[in-house]
Chains A and B, each alone.
Chain A
Amino acid sequence: MTAILEIRGLVTSFDGFKAVGGVDLTINEGELRFLIGPNGAGKTTLIDTVTGLVKATAGSVRFAGKEMLGLKEYEVVREGIGRTFQTPTVFERLSVVENIDLAATFRRPLSSLLRRRRGVDDAVAAALQDVGLVEFADKTAGTLSHGQRQWLEIGMLLVQNPTLLLLDEPVAGMTKEERTRTGELLQAIALTRTLVVIEHDMDFVRRFASRVTVLHEGKVLCEGSIAEVQADPVVQEVYLGRAADRSGGVPSGVESHQHSEVG
């Protein structure tokens, strides 16, 4: 297994507060890795830093051997890292197929975009198929349900053919069936690409995760299979300790799960 993403000593601080406080993380090619941790653990900030949205204070992020820190957001995307956001952000005025088409043409020069779209490119049609939105192709994205928007976003990523996908809570707010479908979609994607998924829902993580990294207060707490992570006394301490003083805002999935199986 070769490492595709190597994060070393990454620090991101906001006005002195270290949201990410020295993270070392290696993601291997073809992995489907889940990032979990209590609220404020620095999961999203970590992704924000890797993708150039937030500036790192120290450390390095090497993707396929190339340093990513210092690149602009769109440059990182062009290197082959795609991401989604916690709240799906699609272009509501445009139709589903237009959204995906827009994502597909990102490597083309601006001058070639001055012509009208004629027909649907194969890659766009394939992405529509992959995320199961074929029948909604001509619908305005604004009319989609929350779950469909999330799929549309994943479709917009897929059509760009990235090597590494960073998904921020893709199943948040989804129904049970939608979660299952999304999980299967993620596993299918992981056959050909590398995926890092931030997730709060422990049931979902247990069903679909192979390898899990636990983040806590900006640092990697532990890493391993879901069983190993759950058995780790430090992880139990963090989650149970937080669960005890209700103010911690521990995600409900984690909380109930820890009570029932670990406790």
Chain B
Amino acid sequence: MRVRRRGASTGSRSPWYGRIGFALVALGFLVLAPATLSDFGLNLFTKYLCYAIIAVGIGLAWGQGGMLTLGQGVFFGLGGYAMGMYLKLQAAGPGKVPDFMSWSGVEKLPLLWRPFQYAWVALPAVIIAPMALAAALGFMVFRRGVRGAYFAILTQALAAAFVILLVGEQGYTGGTNGLTNFNQAFGFDLADPTNQRTLYIVTAVMLGGVFLLARQLMASRYGHLLVAVRDGEERVRFLGYNPTAIKVLAFTVSAGMAGLAGALFVPVVGIISPALLGVVPSIEMVIWVALGGRSSLVGPVLGALAVNYAKTSLSNRFPSGWLYLEGLLFVVVVGFAPMGLAGMIGYARSALDRFRRSPASRAAEAQRREEEAVPV
């Protein structure tokens, strides 16, 4: 038997305007964007959506859970390479090795590659592989109380090590070139704009799904617990919870999201390489989230889209200037608007509310009308 009370009793169910907002944005993404953007523009936008999926994950781990992960590129890469390996084997045809292997003198398909001939292995692997790595890493480090800057450095080291591994094992991984030259995926020609449009819809739906998953997690008791661990891990221990499990779950889910993004990225952009997932890209991913606003779930999506759009359009015009601008933006946001873009929107809204409600402004408004009413 439960006592039902008004207000708090409903938990944090999304208000009606939240649902309508989500529906409108979904409509915009699914109908408006494909209808108005060129093939090229839509392809770019699909790439941004992949980045937004990573950002939702970082928002979950860092924004909500306080785990600053500077190695999200690794999980993105694992998803990307898993997908890339499958596509590469598809391109090579049955029984043959991918082109770059024969250039390196590898004539027989390596053991690690063999399962990726099958879609039923490769597709689950894009999510499971990063999640498994994150769970193992998280369990090891969180149990020992590694957190804050130490955790950040550790994940960054992981990103660096992953790149060294990829570059070093050229015969197995394609080295610095990565995996590229995919002509088709699942029997669909990737150069065909129609298929790219389908891929866009798939990516947009995935982003929506990932966002709703994060939302659901944060509205649950688990979400409250995650925030509680972020704000007072010690205290949560004295409530009888083991914070390790709580943190590992959020970190693992965020890794799975990055892996999914990587898998979608590969057929959209046509390449996965160490340059896309090393230390610098991993830091950039965090910057998107910081700029968008890590304290909300919308912020990271906003940040990923805005920063990447700005990057594309500005780095065309000022090729060397972009990095400085990005760094400057990061400093400004951290220093002056820690809530990011989403925070600014929230701030503007509450300021507007206050302006509307304040008696002084209403009096001023009335006076202005009176003055206007006086005939000149």
Contact = CB atoms under 8 A, between A and B. Distances in A.
Interface string B236-272: 0111111001100100000000000000000000000
Contact of A74 (B2, B220, B241): B241
A83 B5 CA distance: 29
B232 A77 contact: no
A106 B239 contact: yes
A115 B237 contact: no
Interface in A79-105: 82-83, 85, 89-95, 97-98, 101-103, 105
A176 interface: no
A119 B4 contact: yes
Contacts of B227: 91, 93-94
A113 interface: yes
Contact of A102 (B2, B11, B228): B228
Interface string B84-118: 00000000000000000000000000000000000
A83 B221 contact: no
Interface in B294-348: none
Given A94-B227, A101-B221, A105-B221, A118 B11 contact: yes
A89 B3 CA distance: 27
B238 A120 contact: no
B36 interface: no
A116 B13 contact: yes
A89 B5 contact: no
Contacts of B8: 95, 97-98, 120, 137-138
B47 to A, nearest CB: 32
Interface in B222-236: 222, 224-225, 227-228, 231-232, 234-235
Contacts of B228: 91, 94, 102
Contacts of B216: 116
Interface string B51-67: 00000000000000000
A74 B224 contact: no
B198 interface: no
A163 interface: no
A93 B239 contact: no
B237 A74 contact: yes
A76 to B, nearest CB: 9
B27 interface: no
A2 B11 CA distance: 43
A114 B3 contact: no
Interface in B112-166: none
Nearest to A117: B11
Nearest to A92: B231
Given A102-B224, A137-B8, A74 B240 contact: yes
B276 interface: no
A15 interface: no
Interface in B198-230: 216-217, 219-222, 224-225, 227-228
A73 interface: yes
B358 interface: no
A189 to B, nearest CB: 18
Contacts of B235: 85, 89-91
A122 interface: yes
A156 interface: yes
A106 B241 contact: yes
B12 interface: yes
A77 B239 contact: yes
Contacts of A98: 8, 224
Interface centre among B5, B224, B231 (most CB of A within 10 A): B224
A86 B212 CA distance: 40
Nearest to B12: A116
B7 A138 contact: yes
B20 interface: no
A135 to B, nearest CB: 12
Contact of A77 (B2, B225, B240, B246): B240
Given A94-B227, A106-B239, A138-B7, A114 B2 contact: no
Interface in A101-147: 101-103, 105-107, 110, 113-122, 125, 137-138
A120 B2 contact: yes
B1 interface: yes
A85 B235 CA distance: 9
A91 B249 contact: no
B220 A116 contact: yes
Contacts of A137: 5, 8
B147 to A, nearest CB: 16
Interface of A: 51, 53, 72-74, 77-78, 82-83, 85, 89-95, 97-98, 101-103, 105-107, 110, 113-122, 125, 137-138, 156, 160
22 contacts: A73-B238, A74-B238, A77-B237, A78-B240, A89-B235, A91-B224, A101-B221, A113-B221, A113-B222, A116-B13, A116-B220, A117-B220, A118-B9, A118-B10, A119-B2, A119-B4, A120-B2, A120-B5, A121-B2, A137-B5, A138-B7, A160-B240
Nearest first, the 8 A-B pairs at minimum CB distance are A77-B240, A106-B240, A73-B237, A113-B221, A119-B2, A138-B8, A117-B11, A113-B222
Given A117-B11, A118-B2, A120-B3, 20 more contacts: A74-B237, A74-B241, A82-B238, A89-B234, A91-B232, A94-B227, A98-B224, A102-B224, A103-B239, A110-B245, A113-B222, A114-B217, A115-B221, A116-B12, A116-B219, A116-B221, A118-B10, A119-B2, A122-B1, A137-B5
